[in-house]
Copies of this chain bind each other. A is one copy, B any other.
Amino acid sequence: MKKIITISREFGAGGGEIGRKLSERLHYQYYDKEIILQAAAESNLDIYSLIEWDEKVPIQFAFSQSLFDFYNRPLSEKIFKAQSSVIRMIGEKGNCIIVGRNSNSILKEYEHSLHVFVHARFNWRLERMKERMKGMSEAKVAEQIKRIDKTRNSYCTYNTRHKFGCSKYYDLTLNSEKFGIERCVDIICEALEYV
């Protein structure tokens, strides 16, 4: 029976690392940034536009009164649709782990899927990312975390009308600070058994 794991995550909480470790342990294919590249290849969209727009909403979004009140909706929708169809194609193949890009929402009706959200306290994520962003000041790392969290949040609300991190949209959510990365992998494997 082929299974799908989607991992949504706060920046710095270790969602990507958990995904890669799961992929090694389960011998599942791991998909992250490459979804975008695949989407570009399959939709004749300019690859630089795609990278630029990945998990972002149009700049106007932040200042607009309404979700629909901005000029460049057609481009962002085109990109979201292209990504969504690549995500569905990957989901149909199964035995895969897909990180980010609202894949929990895109694949929510799929059988044998496990939708996971990984989060942690801001300060824990800050310490973790300082280690990985050597040479960047603490203030700069903190700013980066806040910016990316905000962007993912808006991207989620904009494309799915869901609240990012609300447990009802996931089968399992984990505090990676509490358990640590390895243990999160164990818990996900345990949860996957009966999916």
Taking Cβ atoms with an 8 Å cutoff, the residues of A that contact B are 114, 117, 119, 163, 165-168, 170-175, 178-180, 183, 186-187, 190-191, 193-195
Contact = CB atoms under 8 A, between A and B. Distances in A.
A171 B178 contact: yes
Contacts of A174: 171-172
A74 to B, nearest CB: 33
Contacts of A171: 174-175, 178-179
A5 to B, nearest CB: 13
A175 B183 contact: no
> Assembly of this chain: how many copies?
2
Closest 7 CB pairs of A and B: A167-B173, A173-B173, A171-B175, A190-B190, A171-B178, A167-B167, A183-B194
B166 A170 contact: no
A112 B81 CA distance: 44
